[in-house]
Amino acid sequence: MKKIILALAVLSLAFVSCNSVKSVSSKTSSIEGSWELNYITGPRIAFAGMYPDKKPSITFNLEETTVSGRNSCNSYSGRLNIDGSKISFKEPMMVTKMFCPGEGENVYMNTLQKIDSYSVSEDGKTLNFIMGDIVLMRFEKK
C-alpha cells in the first residue's frame, strides 16, 4: 500500500512539473511573429501625427533569437534578450540611416530601450511592453 501511494505521489509531481514547463515555453512562443504598434506612451503629439506614413513594427524570431522591425522610417535588427516574461532591448541594434521627418522614430527607439518585461493577451492578439508595472507600448498581431 505504501508503495502505491509513493508511486502516485511521484507520478503526480512529474505531471505537475511537465505542465509548468509547457506553460513557460508556450508563453515565450506566443511572442513569435510580427506585431504592429498601436499605442505608445509619452509624446504630446497624437499617435497618428507621430506615425503618419507607417506604424512601427517588431518581429520576433525565437529560433534564431533575433528581433527586427521598422521604427516607422528606418529598419532595425538585433539580438533578442528574453527570459520568461523579462525582455530587454538595451543592447545596441543595427538601424538604417535614412532621413526621417518628425520625432516618431526617436520616440519609438528611446521607449524600446526602457522596456523590461512584456505580456501577451489571452487571445494572443495584443502584446504589451512594460516598464515596472506601466505599459509603455502596445502592439497588435499582424
Under a CB-based contact definition with an 8 Å cutoff, are residues 107 and 42 in contact? yes
Range of lowest pLDDT (43-47, 102-106, 123-127):
43-47
Residues 6+ apart with CB under 8 A from 91: 78, 79, 81
- Rounded to two decimals, what is the model's pTM? 0.79
Residue 97's SS3 state is coil
> What pLDDT, on a 0 to 100 scale, did the predictor assign at position 17?
45
CA distance 28 to 62: 8
Instruction: List the beta bridge partners of residue 119.
Output: 128
Instruction: Map 18-80 to HEC letters.
Output: HHHHHHHHHHHHCCCEEEEEEEECCCCCCHHHHCCCCCCEEEEECCCCEEEEECCCCEEEEEC
Asked if residue 102 lies in contact with residue 92, where contact means CB atoms within 8 angstroms, the answer is: no
pLDDT digits (tens, 9 = 90+) for 39-87: 999 878 889 889 988 999 999 999 999 999 999 999 999 999 999 999 9
Which residue has cell 520616440? 107
- CB 29 within 8 Å of CB 22: no
